[in-house]
Amino acid sequence: MTAGPLGGGRLSLNQATVKHLDLAQSVDLCVRHQIPAIGLWRDRVAEAGLRQSAALVRAAGLHVSSLCRGGFFTHPDGPARVSALADNRRAIAEAAELGADTLVLVPGGLPPGSRDLALARRMVADAIADLVPTAQRLGVRLGVEPMHPLFCADRGVVSTLGDALDLAFQFPAEAVGVVVDSYHVWWDQQLAAQLDRARGRIVSVQLCDWVVPLPADVLLGRGHLGDGVIDFAPMMAGLLAAGYTGFVEVEIFNQEVWDAPADQTAATVRERFAALLG
């Protein structure tokens, strides 16, 4: 991982982009398409076995740019909260075993029946505080992912890069950073200023495009780079200016992409990445 202009050498394929492939198939796909890194998902790692997954990616010479995902922290005190924290500790251990650059944390939405955003945000901060010692002990960086305000009610009460940074800055930089996902932050008029502020805290970058109009299932309104309205060049310039030297994942949730042959998807991912960011 060295700083410099982006090229295929910084590309990582997030497994969600080819979600019908199992871990071994995803690894093979990356190798076949000379994609040097992969973002893994816990369900596929569990299916293949943790040690076997770690061995597979190492044998293939792939870097693990992230493990997706931990988080979903917005529970009142009680069994659900205890269970969420225990699951996140397991996820940290998995990220360590896999050598992942970060464990991506999706904050979680409003607790059922609650309208108290401030309380939900405190629950997120408290949960991260609880996990930091484990992350430090195992050498894993937690990545707080701000989620598009579209998902504030049901998936992520941390909505902007600025708010995610305010949260991350409460903790040591080696333990907590932020995930910059183009889909979640592209609209933000403060993005450039917040990227500038994010120096040393960016632990993962994930890209997909914002497709217009949104499909009926708004979770799936993501497209290949270039298929939507996001201007990636200034965002990447801001990331590089902020000193980000890690991999850049392409992570696309889109039914048509999932229905396409995986080799076609990987080829398009590489082509678009090179054309727009190379």
273 binds a second copy, rule: CB under 8 A: no
- Is residue 223 within 8 A of residue 255, CB to CB? The reply is no
Which of 11, 124 has the CB closer to a second copy? 124
Which of 110, 240 has the CB closer to a second copy? 110
Number of amino acids touching a second copy (CB under 8 A)? 31
230 binds a second copy, rule: CB under 8 A: yes
- Is residue 57 within 8 A of residue 33, CB to CB? The reply is no
- Is residue 168 within 8 A of residue 202, CB to CB? The reply is no
Which of 1, 59, 218, 241 touches a second copy (CB under 8 A)?
A: 218
Q: How many CA atoms lie within 13 A of 155 on its CB side?
A: 16
222 binds a second copy, rule: CB under 8 A: no
Q: How many CA atoms lie within 13 A of 43 on its CB side?
A: 6
237 binds a second copy, rule: CB under 8 A: no
150 binds a second copy, rule: CB under 8 A: yes
Q: With contacts defined by CB under 8 A, name the span among 81-89, 92-100, 127-135, 206-214 that binds a second copy.
A: 206-214
One-letter identity of residue 132: V
163 binds a second copy, rule: CB under 8 A: yes
44 binds a second copy, rule: CB under 8 A: no
Looking at residues 101 to 130 of the shown chain, list those that interact with a second copy (rule: CB under 8 A): 110, 115-117, 121
Which of 28, 126 has the CB closer to a second copy? 126
Determine the Cα angle at 47 with ends 223 and 29, to 5°: 45
DSSP string, 57-123: HHHTT-EEEEEEEEE-----TTHHHHHHHHHHHHHHHHHHHHT-S-EEEE-B-PPTT---HHHHHHH
180 binds a second copy, rule: CB under 8 A: no
Taking Cα atoms as reference points, which of 97, 64, 27 lies closest to residue 204? 64
Binding region for a second copy (CB under 8 A) = 110, 115-117, 121, 148-150, 152-154, 158-160, 162-163, 186-190, 210, 212-214, 216, 218, 228-231
